[in-house]
């Protein structure tokens, strides 16, 4: 099935550093979503993007819907230990399906 | 947090036995989804429902069946569990014509 390419697969950073991750698709998407998953929990929605070029923030998190509609970026500024977890991108293509396509996740480790 | 519960949260069963997982929502959302999450594969859609008694297959539906007799409940059944169905199962919900999906806490299933 259709998949998203999410990178990097993992990141090891020091507390206070900024983080950037991205997702790319081979097809045009109408919606991009970013989720965070803590160990033993379900994914939690962080940011939703609906328009090409849209830039949306949620606290220290900022996400952008790429102009080509085939990519999206998530940035975390001034990372803290509780940012640890797996970040997933997800998207819905322009075909109108109710189904989302998910990336395989970026595992973030923050060293105090 | 979206009002989604999953039961049981953990289950150990033997190969060949039937297993039913339950997802319950209090949000009155039209769409409900079942995913499985495995290392290296991310989240994969098993089945979804777009209304009471209306269901459709996802990308990994073989060996699974679902039922939705009420808006608030979506059941996932493994008719004869196999070791390859050892996984973490997540339920998700979304509103009609809304792309954002909200996830439950997950059910960890071990098939011996």
Looking at residues B34-62, what average pLDDT do you find?
Answer: 93
Looking at residues B71-81, what average pLDDT do you find?
Answer: 97
Q: Which residues contact B62 (CB under 8 A, 6 or more apart)?
A: none
- The pLDDT-based confidence of A95 (bands split at 50, 70, 90) is confident
Give the residue from chain B lying closest to A104, CA to CA: B42
> Nearest C-alpha of chain B: how many angstroms from A111?
23
8 Å CB contact of A42 and B90: yes
The answer, yes or no, to whether residue A69 has pLDDT greater than 80, is yes
> Nearest C-alpha of chain A: how many angstroms from B84?
19
Q: What is the pLDDT of residue A94?
A: 75
Whether the CB of B62 is below 8 Å from some CB of chain A: the reply is no
Using an 8 Å CB-CB cutoff, list chain A residues near B106.
40-42
Cis-peptide into A8, omega within 30 deg: yes
- 3 state DSSP class of A81: helix
Looking at residues B79-99, what average pLDDT do you find?
Answer: 92
For residue A49, give the H/E element and its range.
strand A44-49
Cα→Cα distances B51→B20, B55, B92, Å:
20, 7, 14
């Amino acid at each position: 099935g259709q998949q998203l390419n999410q990178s990097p697969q993992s990141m090891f950073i020091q507390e206070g550093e900024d983080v950037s991750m991205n997702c790319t698709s081979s097809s045009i998407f109408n919606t991009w979503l970013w989720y965070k998953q803590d160990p033993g929990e379900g994914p939690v929605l962080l940011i939703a993007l609906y328009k090409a070029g849209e830039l949306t923030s949620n606290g220290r998190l900022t996400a952008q819907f790429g102009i080509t509609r085939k990519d999206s970026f998530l940035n975390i500024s001034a990372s803290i230990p509780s940012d640890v977890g797996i970040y997933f991108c997800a998207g819905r293509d322009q075909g109108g399906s109710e189904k989302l396509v998910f990336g395989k996740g970026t595992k973030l480790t923050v060293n105090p | 947090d979206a009002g989604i519960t999953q039961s049981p949260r953990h289950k150990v069963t033997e190969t060949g036995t039937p297993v039913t997982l339950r997802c319950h929502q209090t949000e009155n959302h039209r769409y409900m989804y079942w995913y499985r999450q495995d290392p290296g594969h991310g989240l994969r859609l098993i089945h979804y429902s777009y209304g009471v008694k209306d269901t459709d297959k996802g990308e990994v539906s073989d060996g699974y069946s679902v039922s939705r007799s009420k808006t608030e409940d979506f059941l996932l059944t493994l008719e004869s569990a196999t070791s390859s169905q050892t996984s973490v199962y997540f339920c998700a919900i979304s509103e009609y014509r809304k792309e954002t999906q909200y996830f439950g806490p997950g059910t960890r299933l071990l098939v011996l």
